[in-house]
Structure 1
Amino acid sequence: MSWLIWLPALWLSSALSLLILSVVGRQKGLNVAQATMCSHWGAPSGKSLSQDGDVIIGGLFNLYYIPSAVEQGFTRLPQYEPCTGLEQEPLKYLHAMVFAVEEINRNNTLLPGVKLGYRILDSCGRPASLLIAAASSTTGIIMSSILGPLSVPIISYLASCPCLSDRLKYPNFFRTIPSDIYQARAMARLATRFHWTWIGAVIENNDYGQLAIKVFQEEIKGKGVCLEFIETLKAETIVRDAKRAALTIQASTARVILIICWYTEVRKLLQEMAKRNVTDRQFLASEAWSTSDDLLQDQTISKVANGVVGVAIRSSSIPGFENYLRSLHPIHRPNDDFLREFWQKEFGCSLVSSGTESLEGVQHPFTDTSRLRVEYNVYLAVYAAAHALHSLLSCTDGDRVLTNISTCSSPKQIKAIELLQHLNKVNVTTPQGEMFHFQGADIPAKYDLVNWQKTSEGPLKLVLVGGVDGFNLHLNESAVQWSTGSSQVPVSVCSESCPAGTRKANRKGEPVCCFDCIPCAAGEISNKDGSLHCERCPSDSWSNVEQTACIPRQLDFLSFNETLGITLTTAAVSGAAVTTAVFVVFLCYRQTPMVRANNSELSFLLLLSLKLCFLCSLVFIGRPSVWSCRLQQAAFGISFVLCVSCLLVKTLVVLAVFRSARPGAETLMKWFGPGQQRGSVCFFTSIQVIICATWLSISPPVPQRDLGFQGSKVTLECAMASAVGFSLVLGYIGLLACTCLLLAFLARKLPDNFNEAKLITFSMLIFCAVWVAFVPAYVSSPGKYVVAVEIFAILASSYGLLLCIFAPKCFIILLRPEKNTKKQLMTR
């Protein structure tokens, strides 16, 4: 939780406008403590490191360890203990920044003609003692909020709070470390992967710890993992907090402990546990301490810390950095106060030291560059800043050269808002060939998974055992050495795992990890131990007796192969064939009085609609699909409306013909000419088309499995997603049918030897009777018989219309041709 801050001309006054890059470490620090240094190096003038340049990059690191603070009251000014002990790791971060600046200055293509300088100070972690200080996500939030209105960019290499990804609140914030969301989720997935359902947690008492544990809890929610306790540590009260947390861990039944803290607090905690000989705990480490050389080299905690598995910042290499570190010497860098103090600590410098000490050929954690993590983040941050500067000063916008040179900036005219704009579009290619760019505030999340293992020499060694890429976790389990000293995964549960065929049932008033095992219900299974829930079998399956597997269920629908399907298919095809035969008869005898007297055009259209009615029933047979479910209802509704519309218009024509015989009614027939008849049929049918189109577009029938009773067959049917749509289709057909029946009934006694209204009356009585009976039969029929009922209604009503209207006519045409004359038809 630290950051790089660009702050123009706020610290130093100069003839040039200055660009300050502040690098702040995660750990809190205190005021700079003075140390006795080798006399021939000269007395330090203050804890700082600087080099002149055209643009100054200011570095602010937490280089000193923070001891416990004195308890603060409200009756006097705050009292603080001084910082003690130069921290080796932050010093290495500092030199990663210096190395990057010097490497950029040697680069002829990046910032040509511009020399970068730097000024580096120790923050000592006190907000009041420096302009930019305390290194935590909380401070990062405050600083970003303050500097946001000034458009001052902040590039962080350790501030991992998820909240800082919000571009609306923190538009000026960037970082080269992933958000804590990813590492917290990775640790949660480790817990679920190894079935650690009973875990303890120790977190840093700040935004870093609180937000990380919140994400962890969200990720394990509903997965049968719970926290037995959450202890907090704070740097200012670490001695007291570490003792309390160690006692809690010792008394707990959880064998896996999640620790999300800074490594200095973890050191105190592990030391307290070592005093109590608590060596049977498996630790999950956050990236803040999972790779700490100070902890790995500490022999007093090796028994306690053996087997640690942790999420670590992605490692990488920086060519030339090791040689740079080994070449460091206070004599060559007389102004490096921090290096002098490091030298004194490592080599015991005194007033009589020769100054010939060297890091060349020495095996030391400070010169180990095999796996650079935070250092590489600092390195990337400096390069991101340099590329943004390069884009700003060289008048480029990405890969495009600007033509308006007057808009170009110079080291004397750098504006924070311009730099922020270029930083948003920066696309860095490091000397190692790695492509790097920001995704909003963040970079693509990548972590290493590491394991602390025993060595014959004594200190623990860090072993890479996997990685995290975004939300994907990759772990080589065979390479992990657990706290047990073997490859046997530790067990950390409150209740023993439930066997297959049962599920966990929480005990009232206890955490979800403490549970009873109850058998799965019928139709549900659990096929592995420790199932949180019983899974319902798929719709085409059912559970076996043991509730451990799903047995396939027979899929049932009205098919063409079964007896009922064959019968209905035969009836439908026969009806279509008979209708076709009648159509052929009418076509052959279309000039005869019988055909002409009965409105031949509407008769042909009626026969066509009846044929469609017979054929549409075939769509209901067979395996339901998305399109068949939609087609069958639309075809049924439109075909029958077309049929009834023809009958209705025929009836109206009959009434109009006899009405026109009355005096003064000559104009009535003008409304019932052939064009008006066709238009009326089209109008009535179009209304049904609109109803069907609206229904099928909003909530169409869909294939659905009806599970039915336990152990029964699975019926595949077209479920009516909207009963309203189906009701409107049937209702409209019913409305036309009732209207047609009423008019035909009124016209049944009109004087004519062959009054078609009588035939229409009989046919519509049958039609209405069939569909009135259909409704209760449809509602009460089970499974596939629902479809059979609807098909039967379609066929019965279609046969009724065909036989009642056309059978008498065909009888006269084919068997009584002597009656097929105009004179016979006109006889009253």
Structure 2
Amino acid sequence: MGELLYRTLLLGCIWSCCYGTGLQLKGDFTIYGMFPLHNADQTISAAPCMPDCKQGTDNKHGFHLVQALRYAVKEINNSTGKEKLLPGITLGYQTYDTCSLRASVLATVDLLSQPYNRVDVEPRAAALIGPDSSDYAFTPAAALGAFLLPQISYEASNEMLSNKMLYPAFFRTIPSDKNQVDAMIQILLRFNWTWIALLGSDNSYGQQGMLSLSQQASDYDICIAYQAVIPTLKSGTQQQMRDMVRNIIKTKVNTIVVFSSKRIANGFFPFVIEQNITDKVWIGTEDWSMATLVSGIPGISTIGTVLGVSVQYAPFSGFQDFENQAVSELRDISAVNSSSDMVVPCLQNTDLYTMATKRYSLENYDITSSFNVYKAVYAVAHALRQVLKCDSGQCEKTEVQAGQVSIFIRVRFTVRNTSVYFDKNGDPATGYDIVTWTWKGKAWSFRVVGAFSPDPPYLQVDLSQIQWTADDSDGTNVPESRCSPECPYGYRQLQVGQHKCCFECMACPASTFLNKTGSTSCQSCAQGQWSPAESEACLNRTVLYLPWDAPLSLALLVLLALTLLLTLGTAALFLRNLTTPVVKSAGGRTCLLMLLSLTAASCSTLCHFGTPSQPACLLKQSLFLFSFTVCLACVTVRSFQVVCIFKWSSKLPRFYETWAKNRGPEMFILVTSVVEFLISVLHVALYTPFPSENHDLYYDSIVLECSNDLSPGAFVEILFVSLLSILCFCLSYVGKDLPANYNEAKCITFSLMICIISWISFFTVQSINRGTVTMALEVAAVLCSVLGILGGYFLPKVYIMLVKSQMNTTAHFQNCIQMYTMTKQ
């Protein structure tokens, strides 16, 4: 209600001094136009009155826009033959000078009042072309939308105007700011500018565009270091603008996005020049990036590089000739207008003839906008053609409702090889040119360096066409605009402060990697891979096992072969001399069982080579422990027998006889072996070992092993063998001073010590290392245990049988016993 009252008072204030008809051409249908022919003072006064637009400075851009309207109407009216778009119908126009926001409001009110304050009006309103600003477009879009009178703007790009619920009859030939924001985002991403300042003009165009861009920026990891609204230049806002420029300097950004109208940008950039800001990148919107109102500011060439978004350029042949030839026509129109009563003189008393005589230059920016006006007029004409059913060769002069034109204005057509149509929101499906400013001395020009297509979003930029600095000739010295430098590969980002673009680089720990920038977390290596700290890629883990063809394995296999050769050779020799005193004193047939068990224990080492298999895992530990238990049981029995005969016979005279008669030695060996066998079976049944890959021992290696090698079952197996070894060691140690021919106890004691030491060494190393060397050490411990027993118990007997055969007699053995007995007595 307040705004309506304001507009009513404004109209009343001006109505008292308004008269006449203004710049117009009569026709069957009238196209209204709103164009900025002057730049009026924007100062807002307390009274709702508006000065005459002519009091402002001339706007040459607006002059070209009016000429584009006249050019299109004249071309349509003068077309002949099959090319006649509206046969039998003529178009007229009436224009308003929207030199300010108040002027656009007044023009809207005057347009709506036409049918009521002039009863002699015969032409019917067809549509409104304009105005040039989003701020200026909202009022007519809302007012005319209520009557469904089409409005086609050539420069109003605010995204809110696409809302058909609020503005049902609004259309435009310039893309929506939604596409422009997308283009700006793509530019920032293309050059990796993530630390920016964002400025927007203090109007709906700038604020809506700034809001849309700031909302999307976070989705693309773009941080806005500083954001502010540029006010309209007045005496009270100058200090505010200076503070804005100082804040931009403090944030140390190199890229500034200025989403502003050309009028407000014109007031802001002098303060940038005043603060001597140079070598920055300014990204401009289509409204000011090509406007000479901004590029003509003295000293603006020093601010740095300007990259602008511009409506795509299309050649507009014949328009320049039309303007040159229209001087005489405008002279006649001005003479008519000077003698006519004008309804709104402050909007319609423009002397176009005087402006035409100034021969304003026609820049690309003017051509682009003028072509948008041209397309808008043709869109109205094509819609009327459909409404009036002109396809038959003559248009029907029937009653036309404004809503009908709005419906058919969406028709697709082609003009000057350009396809024109409006989508469901009233927007054209067109993209943008990307332009940069160039300077030769003080002469300004621009260069198209790329293009943006909105559907799907695609940006193409030719870097070689952009000159970032004075000495940059090929566009390679792209300025950086980042809060923190990119982290190298192998380092992740750790955010510092509230902006995610500000971070420290933290090294990725071992077993992780990072081969891209911008990530806040490191990637874990696959299970079969590893990496040191600060890595950008993972390495394959080393597989640890005991290959058959490794040098260490070959050495162990040679040792195994020698061990088997010794055990089998010894067994053959013992079998041949089974009835001799040496063999009988060593245990007789028990020696063959011992040698067989040692052979089996040696063969268990074959399960340690190559990649683990299920049979190997089942036999590797259990076969050795069972075989070695049988051997130890035999050695223990032999040690007990000797000690019992020579040491305990006087104390326990009948113990050994009872032990021997009841087959004590055989039962001890059998029971001990069966117990170990049952423990092994339970171990395999309850804790079945199987081939496995251990990834937890080393970060850079995979250990191929058998599972459950340290299970409770394995521990019981080892404990039983260990207790038997201790018992055997104790008995052999007690008999260390027996007769020479029966004195293998010393050798057995030494052999058992070697065996115990080798296994203690192995378990010590295994507790700190599970690599290939430890696997080889286990094989060595097995062979040392076998060789220890073989060397300590059997080889002295072999030596007697092969070298000292004279000692292998009954007499010699009896003599040794007698001497031992005499010594003890």
TM-score interval for Structure 1 and Structure 2 normalised by the shorter chain: 0.5 to 0.7
Contact 2:132–2:154 (8 Å) recurs in 1: no
Distance across 1 between alignment mates of 2:139 and 2:365: 36
**Which letter does structure 2 place at the counterpart of 1:414?**
V
Contact 1:302–1:459 (8 Å) recurs in 2: no
Within the candidate set 311, 314, 318, 1:313 is matched to 311
Q: Given the superposition, is the C-alpha separation of residues 332 and 157 from structure 1 closer, same or farther in structure 2, using an over 3 Å criterion?
A: closer
Find out whether 1:464 has 2:448 as its counterpart.
yes
Q: Name the SS for the 1:318 alignment partner.
A: coil
Distance across 2 between alignment mates of 1:434 and 1:78: 44
Contact 1:524–1:542 (8 Å) recurs in 2: no
The equivalences for 1:326-345 within 5 A come to 326-329=324-327, 332-336=330-334, 341=351, 344=354
Distance across 2 between alignment mates of 1:261 and 1:193: 22
Within the candidate set 96, 100, 116, 2:91 is matched to 116
**Which letter does structure 2 place at the counterpart of 1:129?**
L
> What are the superposed Cα offsets for residues 169-205 of structure 1, whole Å, 9 maximum, x if unpaired?
4332221111111111211221222222221122112
Distance across 1 between alignment mates of 2:700 and 2:206: 52
**Which letter does structure 2 place at the counterpart of 1:221?**
S
Contact 2:531–2:700 (8 Å) recurs in 1: no
The equivalences for 1:2-13 within 5 A come to none
The match for 1:61 is: 35
Contact 2:449–2:461 (8 Å) recurs in 1: yes
> What are the superposed Cα offsets for residues 48-106 of structure 1, whole Å, 9 maximum, x if unpaired?
42111121111112222143414x6xxx6357666511211122111111111111112
Within the candidate set 412, 418, 424, 1:427 is matched to 412
**Which letter does structure 1 place at the counterpart of 2:371?**
Y
Q: Name the SS for the 2:500 alignment partner.
A: coil
Q: Given the superposition, is the C-alpha separation of residues 505 and 172 from structure 1 closer, same or farther in structure 2, using an over 3 Å criterion?
A: same
The match for 1:375 is: 370
Within the candidate set 493, 500, 504, 2:482 is matched to 493
Q: Name the SS for the 1:283 alignment partner.
A: strand
Distance across 1 between alignment mates of 2:105 and 2:165: 28
Contact 1:66–1:235 (8 Å) recurs in 2: no
Distance across 1 between alignment mates of 2:149 and 2:700: 69
Contact 1:541–1:551 (8 Å) recurs in 2: no
Q: Name the SS for the 2:23 alignment partner.
A: strand
The match for 1:505 is: 494
Contact 2:515–2:537 (8 Å) recurs in 1: no
Distance across 1 between alignment mates of 2:536 and 2:189: 23
Find out whether 1:52 has 2:26 as its counterpart.
yes
Within the candidate set 447, 452, 458, 2:432 is matched to 447
Distance across 1 between alignment mates of 2:22 and 2:514: 64
- Structure 1 residue 712, shift from structure 2 partner: 9.8
159-168 or 259-268, larger mean C-alpha shift: 159-168
Contact 2:197–2:256 (8 Å) recurs in 1: yes
Find out whether 1:193 has 2:181 as its counterpart.
no
Q: Given the superposition, is the C-alpha separation of residues 288 and 47 from structure 1 closer, same or farther in structure 2, using an over 3 Å criterion?
A: farther
The equivalences for 1:785-800 within 5 A come to none
The match for 1:322 is: 320
The match for 2:712 is: none
Contact 2:27–2:92 (8 Å) recurs in 1: yes
Q: Given the superposition, is the C-alpha separation of residues 525 and 107 from structure 1 closer, same or farther in structure 2, using an over 3 Å criterion?
A: farther
Q: Given the superposition, is the C-alpha separation of residues 542 and 194 from structure 1 closer, same or farther in structure 2, using an over 3 Å criterion?
A: farther
Contact 2:194–2:222 (8 Å) recurs in 1: yes
- Structure 1 residue 369, shift from structure 2 partner: 5.5
The equivalences for 1:39-438 within 5 A come to 48-70=22-44, 77-78=47-48, 83=53, 84-108=56-80, 109-124=84-99, 125-126=101-102, 128-131=105-108, 136-137=133-134, 140-235=137-232, 237=234, 240=238, 242-304=241-303, 306-329=304-327, 332-336=330-334, 341=351, 344=354, 359=359, 364-365=360-361, 367-368=362-363, 372-394=367-389, 410=397, 413-424=399-410, 426-430=411-415, 432-438=416-422
RMSD: 3.7
> What are the superposed Cα offsets for residues 504-551 of structure 1, whole Å, 9 maximum, x if unpaired?
22224x32222212234667644344x144474797996743565444
Contact 1:465–1:477 (8 Å) recurs in 2: yes
Q: Given the superposition, is the C-alpha separation of residues 464 and 535 from structure 1 closer, same or farther in structure 2, using an over 3 Å criterion?
A: farther
- Structure 1 residue 219, shift from structure 2 partner: 2.6
- Structure 1 residue 409, shift from structure 2 partner: 5.2
Contact 2:105–2:139 (8 Å) recurs in 1: no
Distance across 2 between alignment mates of 1:161 and 1:344: 33
Contact 1:330–1:339 (8 Å) recurs in 2: no
Q: Name the SS for the 1:308 alignment partner.
A: strand
Find out whether 1:479 has 2:473 as its counterpart.
no
- Structure 1: tracts of 5 or more residues without a match: 1-30, 33-43, 347-356, 555-707, 714-828
Q: Given the superposition, is the C-alpha separation of residues 280 and 234 from structure 1 closer, same or farther in structure 2, using an over 3 Å criterion?
A: same
Distance across 2 between alignment mates of 1:500 and 1:345: 63
Q: Given the superposition, is the C-alpha separation of residues 140 and 369 from structure 1 closer, same or farther in structure 2, using an over 3 Å criterion?
A: closer
Distance across 2 between alignment mates of 1:135 and 1:370: 13
Contact 2:513–2:525 (8 Å) recurs in 1: no
% identity of equivalent residues: 26
Q: Given the superposition, is the C-alpha separation of residues 219 and 552 from structure 1 closer, same or farther in structure 2, using an over 3 Å criterion?
A: farther
**Which letter does structure 1 place at the counterpart of 2:301?**
S
Q: Name the SS for the 1:113 alignment partner.
A: coil
Distance across 2 between alignment mates of 1:438 and 1:128: 26
Contact 2:233–2:264 (8 Å) recurs in 1: no
117-126 or 81-90, larger mean C-alpha shift: 81-90
The match for 1:813 is: none
**Which letter does structure 2 place at the counterpart of 1:462?**
F
- Structure 1 residue 129, shift from structure 2 partner: 2.9
Q: Given the superposition, is the C-alpha separation of residues 295 and 47 from structure 1 closer, same or farther in structure 2, using an over 3 Å criterion?
A: farther
Q: Name the SS for the 1:102 alignment partner.
A: helix
> What are the superposed Cα offsets for residues 473-531 of structure 1, whole Å, 9 maximum, x if unpaired?
110011111256623211222222222222322224x32222212234667644344x1
Contact 1:100–1:383 (8 Å) recurs in 2: yes
Q: Name the SS for the 1:159 alignment partner.
A: coil
- Structure 1 residue 459, shift from structure 2 partner: 1.9
Contact 1:317–1:371 (8 Å) recurs in 2: no
> What are the superposed Cα offsets for residues 243-300 of structure 1, whole Å, 9 maximum, x if unpaired?
4433433444112111111122222222222223222322111111111123334443
**Which letter does structure 1 place at the counterpart of 2:504?**
D
Larger Rg: 2
Distance across 1 between alignment mates of 2:363 and 2:294: 15
Q: Name the SS for the 1:443 alignment partner.
A: coil
> What are the superposed Cα offsets for residues 331-383 of structure 1, whole Å, 9 maximum, x if unpaired?
7533248997576579xxxxxxxxxx674xxxx53x34597211111111111
Distance across 2 between alignment mates of 1:545 and 1:276: 50
Q: Name the SS for the 1:187 alignment partner.
A: helix
130-139 or 435-444, larger mean C-alpha shift: 130-139
The equivalences for 1:765-804 within 5 A come to none
Distance across 2 between alignment mates of 1:482 and 1:138: 34
Distance across 2 between alignment mates of 1:499 and 1:519: 9
**Which letter does structure 2 place at the counterpart of 1:259?**
V
Find out whether 1:515 has 2:513 as its counterpart.
no
Q: Given the superposition, is the C-alpha separation of residues 533 and 90 from structure 1 closer, same or farther in structure 2, using an over 3 Å criterion?
A: farther
Higher normalized helix content (fraction of residues): 2
Contact 1:183–1:286 (8 Å) recurs in 2: yes
The match for 1:646 is: none
> What are the superposed Cα offsets for residues 704-735 of structure 1, whole Å, 9 maximum, x if unpaired?
xxxx988899xxxxxxxxxxxxxxxxxxxxxx
